[in-house]
Amino acid sequence: MKHKILLSITILIACSLIFLSFINFSNNSESQFVIKTEFGDITLKLYDQTPLHRDNFIKLVSSNFFNDLLFHRVIKTFMIQGGDPDSRNAKPEAVLGNGGPGYNIKAEIVNGLFHKRGALAAARESDMVNPNRESSGSQFYIVQGKVFTNQELDMVEQNQNQSIKKQVIGKILYAPENKSMLVKLDSLQKTGNKEELNKFIMTINPLVEKEMANVSKFVFTAEQRKVYTTIGGAPHLDGAYTVFGEVIEGMNVVDSIASVNVDKNDRPIKDIKMKITLK
């Protein structure tokens, strides 16, 4: 009887330890994972500031979701991308990048988390079909990037602010109360009357300027400029995609993968499989 009680206590303690280890793993402020590839290992750290993405990644790794998937999109001096379940056993000619687990994740675009070299971020569909910038449920990319000059960063800022302005114009024109304005614009564009088109644009400028006054201007911080002009990255993605982790070891592996030969769709000619495990 005594032995049975001791056995029961031992089992209870063991189960408790397993449960506690899972809790600690889920709440670990520096959850670390290893992406194993034929080129070597890449060690990742996930951020607490993006809990939805962190917990989703933990869930997928725990279920072996990523094992044998491919890095299906590779662009040198930019990034390497994977996590599409359709890439498992995909034929060489198959176009990849549209697969996922059947759900998206709410955007967690956090100030201070940006696309430096080694950043881990979530892929997503374009603003045209995904205005809330929700992340793919499984596809991710790692930034290889390049070093930028301050002048180049100035140009990125200008382009980003132009993009913001275009979004504001679209918001105004597609508002239900401005339907007549959209019809008129469409008509002017079809006729090609540039003079009338310019006059029309002048009439909506006050509305645009008013709306722009309520929108934050895109400006790189001093920290971002320092990183992008020394270490490098992909600054044009800042503010538009969720960064949820970073590489802490194995950037040489990222560089090797980014240098392979690819086809017209940026898919490596020779498949590069991954396996992701808890470190």
Distance (Å, rounded) from C-alpha 121 to C-alpha 102? 19
Q: Do residues 68 and 109 both lie within one domain? A: yes
Last residue of a domain, one of 179, 212, 245: 212
Distance (Å, rounded) from C-alpha 210 to C-alpha 108? 27
Confirm whether 53 is domain-assigned: yes
What are the tokens at 134?
Answer: 């929700």
Structural domain range at position 186? 151-212
Looking at residue 19, its pLDDT comes to 43
What are the tokens at 194?
Answer: 């540039």
* Residue 70 pLDDT greater than 60, yes or no: yes
Distance (Å, rounded) from C-alpha 170 to C-alpha 162? 12
The number of domains in the chain is 2
Confirm whether 14 is domain-assigned: no
**Of all helices (H) and strands (E), which one includes residue 141?**
strand 140-143
Confirm whether 217 is domain-assigned: no
Query: What is the band of 269 on the pLDDT scale with cuts at 50, 70, 90?
Result: very high
Looking at residue 65, its pLDDT comes to 98
Pairing mode of beta strands 140-143, 79-82: antiparallel
Looking at residue 189, its pLDDT comes to 83
Distance (Å, rounded) from C-alpha 71 to C-alpha 141? 9
For the chain, give the number of residues. Answer: 279
Last residue of a domain, one of 212, 247, 264: 212
Cβ atoms < 10 Å from Cβ of 2: 6
Query: What is the band of 274 on the pLDDT scale with cuts at 50, 70, 90?
Result: very high
Q: Do residues 183 and 274 both lie within one domain? A: no
Residues near 257 by beta carbon (within 8 Å), at least 6 away in sequence:
37, 39, 71, 74, 80, 268, 272
Condensed to tens digits (0 to 9), the pLDDT of residues 107-148 reads: 999 999 999 999 999 999 998 889 899 999 999 999 999 999
Confirm whether 137 is domain-assigned: yes
Distance (Å, rounded) from C-alpha 262 to C-alpha 274? 17
Please give the average per-residue pLDDT across 8-18, as a whole number: 46
Q: Do residues 129 and 172 both lie within one domain? A: no
Domain with residue 65: its CATH number is 2.40.100.10
Query: What is the band of 14 on the pLDDT scale with cuts at 50, 70, 90?
Result: very low
Confirm whether 248 is domain-assigned: yes
Condensed to tens digits (0 to 9), the pLDDT of residues 152-177 reads: 999 999 999 998 888 888 888 888 88
Q: Do residues 134 and 241 both lie within one domain? A: yes
Looking at residue 8, its pLDDT comes to 52
Please give the average per-residue pLDDT across 8-16, as a whole number: 47
Distance (Å, rounded) from C-alpha 15 to C-alpha 24? 14
Q: What angle do CA 223, 224, 228 make, to 5 degrees?
A: 120
Q: Do residues 107 and 53 both lie within one domain? A: yes
Confirm whether 11 is domain-assigned: no
Q: Do residues 54 and 99 both lie within one domain? A: yes
Give helix 51-62 / helix 2-27 axis angle, nearest 10°: 130
* Residue 9 pLDDT greater than 70, yes or no: no
Q: Do residues 121 and 55 both lie within one domain? A: yes
Q: Do residues 88 and 200 both lie within one domain? A: no
Q: What angle do CA 121, 125, 129 make, to 5 degrees?
A: 145
- The structure's pTM equals 0.81
CA-CA-CA-CA torsion for 182, 187, 188, 191, nearest 10 degrees? 160
Confirm whether 182 is domain-assigned: yes
Percent of the chain surpassing pLDDT 90: 66
Q: Between 208 and 154, name the one with better pLDDT.
A: 154
Distance (Å, rounded) from C-alpha 241 to C-alpha 109? 6
**Of all helices (H) and strands (E), which one includes residue 207?**
helix 194-212
Confirm whether 244 is domain-assigned: yes
* Residue 267 pLDDT greater than 50, yes or no: yes
Q: Do residues 160 and 42 both lie within one domain? A: no
CA distances 239 to 186, 205, 270, Å, are 30, 25, 33
Report CA 235 to chain centroid distance, whole Å. 13
Looking at residue 229, its pLDDT comes to 98
* Residue 21 pLDDT greater than 50, yes or no: no
Looking at residue 20, its pLDDT comes to 44
> In whole numbers, what is the pLDDT of the chain averaged over residues?
89
Report CA 268 to chain centroid distance, whole Å. 20
Looking at residue 124, its pLDDT comes to 97
* Residue 26 pLDDT greater than 50, yes or no: no
What are the tokens at 182?
Answer: 């959209």
Q: Do residues 36 and 130 both lie within one domain? A: yes
Looking at residue 151, its pLDDT comes to 98
Q: Do residues 132 and 65 both lie within one domain? A: yes
Q: Do residues 63 and 178 both lie within one domain? A: no
